[in-house]
Amino acid sequence: MTKDDRYGATDDDYGDDYSTDATTTSTATKSTNAESSATDQQSGTDSGTGEQTLPFIFARRTVKADREAVPVYVQGETAGEISELERELSQTFDGDKVMALDVREALIRAGLENTDDVQRVMEEWGYGRR
């Protein structure tokens, strides 16, 4: 697997499947509606109008579009588990090209939606023992 494959620099072709007008409209809606929540953007609903927009993977230009870089260093065991999850999700979503960046952001979103689990892991690592 090359670096481009892993990070999706050239391999995300979902945006090519839909018309440019729909992509532009969806992107413009996201840009002008800054107060909308990440949940609304992820679910494909424009919170300002309640109208359906294209889901994130179809509305973006590239896998890196509309994202901020947040470098994360992980332990070897964690890296292995992420790679295994990427393989499992590729099989689960057999008809879709599962991008590594999408899996990683989904892991972060899931953690943000389950902060008790994040706290539990940090306690396992030794936080709160001082």
Final residue before a domain boundary, out of 61, 84, 104: 61
Domain boundary among 15, 39, 61: 61
Q: Are residues 38 and 18 in the same domain?
A: yes
In percent, how much of the chain has pLDDT > 90? 48
Please report the pLDDT score of residue 50 as a whole number: 65
Domain that holds residue 40: 1-61
51 and 107 inside one domain: no
pTM over 0.85: no
**Count of structural domains, the chain:** 2
92 lies in the same domain as 121: yes
pLDDT digits (tens, 9 = 90+) for 45-101: 565 666 678 898 888 889 998 899 999 999 999 999 999 999 999 999 988 999 999
SS (H, E, C) the chain: CCHHHHHCCCCCCHHHHCCHHHHHHHHHHHHHCCCCCHHHHHHCECCCCCCECCCHHHHCCCCCCCCCCCCCCCCHHHHHHHHHHHHHHHHHCCCCCCCHHHHHHHHHHHHHHCHHHHHHHHHHCCCCCC
Q: Both 78 and 49 in a single domain?
A: no
User: Do 45 and 101 fall within a single domain?
Assistant: no
Q: Clarify whether residues 129 and 101 are in a common domain.
A: yes
Query: Considering 37, 61, 85, which residue would you say is the last residue of a domain?
Result: 61
